[in-house]
Amino acid sequence: MALDTGGADATRRWIEAAHPTHPSLIDQAHVTDERFGFVNVPNAVWIDEQGVIVRPAHAAHVRQSARRDMEVPEGLGRIGEMLTEVKKIRTDVDLYLEAIRDWAANGSASRFALSPDEVIARSDPRPPAHAEAAACFELGQGLWRDGEHDAAVGWFRRAHELYPENWTYKRQAWTFATTAPGEPSDLIQGPNDDYEGNWLDDVRAVGAEHYYEPFEP
Amino acid sequence: MILSELIVDGDEFAARTGWAIKPEGACSGDICVPLPAEATVAGGRLDVVVLAERLAMPLVQDQVHERWALGPATVSGRALSSAEAPELTLPDLDGNPFSLSSLDGQKVLLVAWASW
């Protein structure tokens, strides 16, 4: 499921290249941010045969990026600095794959399947500021889709202030600010005139090792 | 959810927020929040201000563009107020709607990714 304000236009090339054999949906309004508590990508939830969530939103890495192991060449400038931070990001692909396979085989008996009370307790806190951030971000998205880009930026900024730990709000908005018209989404998301933050500086501020929460059995 | 007026249809409210309007109140999973009589207005529609207050949902207004956004409920203090997966219908690449509940009876790994 693509979490993408840009909708089909922004996601088509990726979906078509992947040739998915599973349903591949587009969440243009970031509804699943609100409904499941996604705060970054890749994030996932597990849902059992009865429609009950057995794992709340969590970072879901099933493959280790080759960039994690590469030597960062000198002279790459900001991209090199980003790659240096990427190498510090914590993921545990082996544990996550083990967990998925165990749940697939053992269902509710899996040690990775949580009870309903645990699922709720382990879902992210939602203080009023986070809920208000969701409302602000949605106003921003609607205005952006209507071509009211200056007005949208103000609401995106407010969402970032209210919920700075939500990377979906930041990365989505930064991409709008730094992607040239007609080009694929800019993944550098560098300094720009619309927002105080940018990917590299914000990741450094929190520490790249905190960019994703570790997967807790 | 984005609103152009502070009155909403119950089905629309449920589809966007996950809170269904039932005789016992606004319900999500096994949680029901009683609603006062003034929550229902003419034509059986719902007063958004009352809903927002009862469900602890922020209501944010863009005055220039005359629209509101209603944020998610905070009654449980967590992102999930119930472990029951919310009903959700999203389009595929061709715009065809797909409902999460159509996968009932199967395990579902719902993964969020993005182009950004």
| pLDDT (tens place) for every residue of chain A, 217 residues total | 999 998 999 999 999 999 999 999 999 999 999 999 999 999 999 999 999 999 999 999 998 887 778 899 999 999 999 999 999 999 999 999 999 999 999 999 999 999 999 999 999 999 999 999 999 999 999 999 999 999 999 999 999 999 999 999 999 999 999 999 888 888 899 999 999 999 999 999 999 999 999 999 9
Distance CA B73, CA A142 (A): 20
Instruction: List chain A residues with CB under 8 Å of B91.
Output: 8, 25-26, 28
pTM over 0.90: yes
Task: Judge: B95–A4 Cβ closer than 8 Å, yes or no.
Answer: no
Distance CA A72, CA A69 (A): 9
Instruction: List chain A residues with CB under 8 Å of B100.
Output: 47
Distance CA A7, CA A3 (A): 8
Residue A20 CA, chain-centre distance (Å), reads 20
Q: Interface pTM (ipTM) of the complex?
A: 0.95
Q: How far is A71 from chain B (nearest CA, A)?
A: 24
CA atoms within 13 A on the CB side of B85: 29
H or E element: which one contains A167?
helix A167-178
What Cα–Cα distance (Å) separates residue B42 from each residue in A24, A142, B8, B47? 40, 28, 11, 10
Does the CB of B63 have a partner CB in chain A at under 8 Å? no
